[in-house]
Amino acid sequence: MRSSCSCWRATSKSAQPASASARPSAARCDAGRGNRTASKVAQPRAASERYRARVAARLPPGVVRGDDEVARCAWCASAPDYRDYHDREWGFPVGDDTRLFEKLCLEGFQSGLSWLTILRKRENFRRAFRGFEIERVARMGARDVARLLGDAGIVRHRGKIEAALANARAATRVVGEFGSFAAFVWRFEPGPRARPKRVTRAALRRLTESAESRALSKDLRARGFRFVGPTTAYAFMQAMGLVNDHLEGCATRDAALERRARFALPGRRRGAE
């Protein structure tokens, strides 16, 4: 009679039992069974990996697929903080004065640093700068600068701290003129003809600033804003949804486009020019 283990075979038709040395050991049977099981598991796993590799190969340059199988801009793949920011904030249109002012200030603080550094300190910045409410920051003075220079939770750079306070005072004047900071900012949204026909990695590498970001930068500086060069202004426009620079193939691109289609442009106060 044959054992259920396929490696067990009678060596003779004789009824004489085989010697112990001729019999395969239980360990050998178990090993054979284990090898076959491992092989069966490895085969679909290898096929899955090959499939993922083929899918990844079809993604446009600059787009990667995450462990959740969602395609995203590659820059956000390095950290969970980045991915959440990419999926929920970056490129979605913003019409709230506080959020716009906060981002403009934080872009200034980022100068010479990575955005991830600032992103991870953002809650500290909010506490330190009174939630970035424009009027409250505009009332901050020398004592606040001294306090902030001792705050290890933020970037302790005197020039950038003083620039944030100066920017708040400039922003109050903008609000008085245009009715809101948002109404002023959204005047610089580029038209469709000013945008690349296709938003690809190659196109964005050439697009670190634009005619609109240069115009925004020039206007801001004329009004007393600091740390607002054309490149900083373009990064601000990207983040606040004035441009949608999610790459083609990124799953968030369409979501940002849909949000922009529903977004009501902030209106200026009647008579303001």
Whole-angstrom Cα distance, residue 27 to residue 9? Answer: 15
Convert the pLDDT of each residue in 260-271 to its tens digit: 999 999 985 434
For the chain, which residues make up each domain, given as ranges?
A: 24-54, 88-262
Bridge partners (DSSP) listed for residue 64: 72
Whole-angstrom Cα distance, residue 105 to residue 138? Answer: 13
89 is catalytic: no
51 is catalytic: no
Selecting among 90, 102, 107, 186, the annotated active-site residue is: 107
DSSP symbol at 112: T
pTM reported for the whole predicted model: 0.78
Asked which of 7-16, 107-116, 117-126, 215-224 is least confident by mean pLDDT, the reply is: 7-16
234 is catalytic: no
Domain 88-262 fold: Endonuclease III; domain 1 (1.10.340)
> 19 pLDDT band (50/70/90 cuts)?
very low
The mean of the pLDDT values for the chain is 86
- Average pLDDT of span 42-53: 61
Whole-angstrom Cα distance, residue 133 to residue 124? Answer: 15
> 180 pLDDT band (50/70/90 cuts)?
very high
Selecting among 8, 75, 89, 115, the annotated active-site residue is: 115
b/e map 28-46, b = 16+ CB within 10 Å: ebeeeeeeeeeeeeeeeee
Beta-carbon-side half-sphere exposure of residue 53 (alpha carbons within 13 Å): 6
Convert the pLDDT of each residue in 79-109 to its tens digit: 999 999 999 999 999 999 999 999 999 999 9
Max distance between CA atoms of the chain, in angstroms, equals: 111
Selecting among 8, 75, 85, 133, the annotated active-site residue is: 85
pLDDT of residue 17: 45
DSSP symbol at 150: T
Asked which of 25-29, 99-103, 123-127 is least confident by mean pLDDT, the reply is: 25-29
